[in-house]
């Protein structure tokens, strides 16, 4: 018998939704077979079988939310034809959380928890933090300590638990032999201060995992990052001309074909501006300023029920055709919910473009831990004054939102100037 555990699809993942079982109990499985789909905060991932055998028991029914990483989701019978596993064994990781511990009397005290299996360097944590983490199934190496010298202390565990509790039912009803679907959604942690009830007639749509993540991350961003904004108008005529000329050179079909969008050129222009002013390609941390080696541009893509920011990595070094084709592929897979975590986690700068929707001007919320995001609006023909006379130019308004801890006003203005210079003299992008 082999336990199949809830996989961690990213280093920060602590739980996920078991969206779908693709195999049934009793079905034979080969290594590499896709057995289930897991929905994390941002993507749907497939779980592949590592071993061969018969799917003896599904411990977590599909549709269950908040399944903790490393909890047992199913049992694989390797062929020794043993009876179904004892539910108690499977329930152990969850029970460790639910059981408040020893009762009265002279019961022996368990040994203090040993450091966990992560051998990569010593994790500094207080004894209390270690025990609380062990009880909650938190991997200490995933936490940042706020104590003396970065030591992980109780407050850090409390914060991690508070973050998890917003979405996490604590246990999976694994002990029930065949849980009825109604029993599956475990009780949800109720938010502490109940908001005043809404009296107006309404219906309540439960939050999706993504909606919760958007709410949390953007809420944190606005609450903790001192934003300020700088806006400039950028003339697009030269860029549109170059785009038309380049697109005309694309082969009709085949692997070398491309069709550049304005957004592709904006990505490249922003990436070059970041390479020239690397202080903007940065993140704030308490320890010091993080200056990224690479220019990785996160591009906001609207998808059903939310948005996601796939990343064009090393955008300053990529050609326009490569950026364009990569962006198309990422956007298509984003809309299908098939991005891999590493394709949307990270990034050093973000771009949000609402130009195709006719927006004239807007300011975006910084995508933490990045320090800046560029809001790109629609290009439109506007009257401009050139050499003292009225003329018509295609103009778009861009607004950069920056973290003032990282980027001061003068630097933000300078960056906009560099960006504008590249867009208005777009042949620089070809260098």
* Nearest approach, Cβ of residue 64 and other proteins (Å): 25
Q: Which residues bind other proteins (CB under 8 A)?
A: 100-102, 105-107, 109, 111-112, 126-129, 131-132, 135, 146-150, 153-154, 286-287
How would you label 294-332 residue by residue, b for 16+ Cβ within 10 Å and e otherwise? bbbbbbbbebeeeebbbbbbebbebebbbbbbbbeebbe
Q: If we measure between CA atoms, which residue out of 315, 273, 309, 310 comes closest to residue 294?
A: 315
Q: Which is nearer to other proteins, 285 or 428 (CB)?
A: 285
* Nearest approach, Cβ of residue 24 and other proteins (Å): 39
For the record, the structure tokens of 21 come out as 């079982």
Q: Which is nearer to other proteins, 129 or 407 (CB)?
A: 129
**What is the C-alpha to C-alpha distance for residues 123 and 215, in angstroms, rounded to an integer?**
31
How far, rounded to the nearest angstrom, does the alpha carbon of residue 63 sit from its chain's CA centroid? 21
* Nearest approach, Cβ of residue 168 and other proteins (Å): 18
**What is the C-alpha to C-alpha distance for residues 420 and 422, in angstroms, rounded to an integer?**
5
For the record, the structure tokens of 301 come out as 């893509």
**What is the C-alpha to C-alpha distance for residues 407 and 222, in angstroms, rounded to an integer?**
16
Beta bridge partners of 389: 386
Q: Which is nearer to other proteins, 104 or 252 (CB)?
A: 104
DSSP-based three-state secondary structure for 381: strand
**What is the C-alpha to C-alpha distance for residues 415 and 271, in angstroms, rounded to an integer?**
11
* Nearest approach, Cβ of residue 21 and other proteins (Å): 34
Active site residue 202: no
Catalytic residue among 202, 207, 227, 404: 404
Q: If we measure between CA atoms, which residue out of 186, 175, 181 comes closest to residue 59?
A: 175
Q: Which is nearer to other proteins, 127 or 388 (CB)?
A: 127
* Nearest approach, Cβ of residue 187 and other proteins (Å): 18
* Nearest approach, Cβ of residue 99 and other proteins (Å): 9
Q: Which is nearer to other proteins, 192 or 431 (CB)?
A: 192
Question: 92 CB contacts (<8 Å, ≥6 apart)?
Answer: none
Q: Which is nearer to other proteins, 285 or 381 (CB)?
A: 285
**What is the C-alpha to C-alpha distance for residues 369 and 352, in angstroms, rounded to an integer?**
16
DSSP state of 60: S
**What is the C-alpha to C-alpha distance for residues 397 and 354, in angstroms, rounded to an integer?**
11
Q: Please give the helix or strand (H or E) that residue 81 lies within, else none.
A: none
Residue positions annotated with a catalytic role: 404
């Amino acid at each position: 018998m082999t336990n199949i555990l809830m996989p961690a699809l990213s280093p920060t993942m602590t739980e996920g939704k078991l969206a779908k079982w693709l195999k049934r109990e009793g079905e034979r499985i080969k290594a590499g077979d896709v057995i289930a789909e897991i929905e994390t905060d941002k993507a749907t991932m497939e779980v592949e079988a590592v071993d061969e055998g018969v799917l003896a028991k599904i411990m977590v029914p599909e549709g269950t939310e908040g399944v903790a990483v490393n909890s047992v989701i199913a049992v694989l019978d390797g062929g020794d034809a043993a009876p179904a596993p004892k539910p108690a064994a499977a329930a152990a990781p969850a029970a460790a959380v639910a059981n408040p511990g020893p009762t009265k009397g002279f019961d022996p005290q368990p040994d203090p928890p040993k450091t966990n299996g992560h051998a990569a360097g010593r994790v500094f944590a207080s004894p209390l933090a270690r025990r609380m983490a062990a009880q909650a199934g938190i991997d200490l190496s995933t936490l940042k300590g706020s104590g003396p010298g970065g030591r992980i202390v109780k407050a850090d565990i409390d914060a991690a638990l508070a973050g998890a509790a917003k979405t996490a039912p604590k246990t999976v009803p694994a002990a029930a032999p065949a849980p009825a679907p109604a029993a599956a959604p475990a009780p949800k942690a109720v938010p502490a201060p109940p908001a005043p009830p809404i009296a107006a007639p309404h219906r309540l749509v439960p939050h999706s995992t993504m909606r919760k993540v958007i709410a949390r991350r953007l809420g944190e961003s606005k609450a903790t990052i001192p934003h300020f904004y700088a806006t400039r108008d950028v003339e697009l005529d030269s860029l549109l001309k170059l785009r038309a000329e380049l697109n005309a050179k694309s082969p009709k079909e085949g692997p070398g074909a491309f069709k550049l969008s304005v957004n592709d050129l904006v990505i490249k222009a922003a990436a070059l501006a970041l390479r020239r002013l690397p202080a903007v390609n940065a993140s704030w941390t308490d320890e010091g300023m993080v200056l990224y080696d690479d220019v990785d541009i996160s591009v906001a893509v609207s998808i059903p029920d939310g948005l996601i920011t796939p990343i064009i990595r090393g955008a300053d070094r990529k050609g326009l055709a490569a950026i364009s084709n990569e962006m198309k592929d990422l956007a298509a897979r984003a809309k299908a919910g098939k991005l891999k975590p590493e394709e949307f986690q990270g990034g050093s700068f973000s771009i949000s473009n609402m130009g195709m929707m006719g927006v004239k001007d807007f300011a975006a919320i910084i995508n933490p831990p990045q320090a800046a995001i560029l809001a790109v609006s629609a290009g439109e023909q506007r009257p401009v004054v050139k050499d003292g006379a009225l003329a018509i130019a295609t103009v778009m308004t861009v607004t950069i939102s920056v973290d003032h801890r990282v980027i001061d006003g003068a630097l933000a203005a300078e960056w906009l100037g560099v960006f504008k210079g590249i867009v208005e003299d777009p042949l620089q992008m070809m260098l």
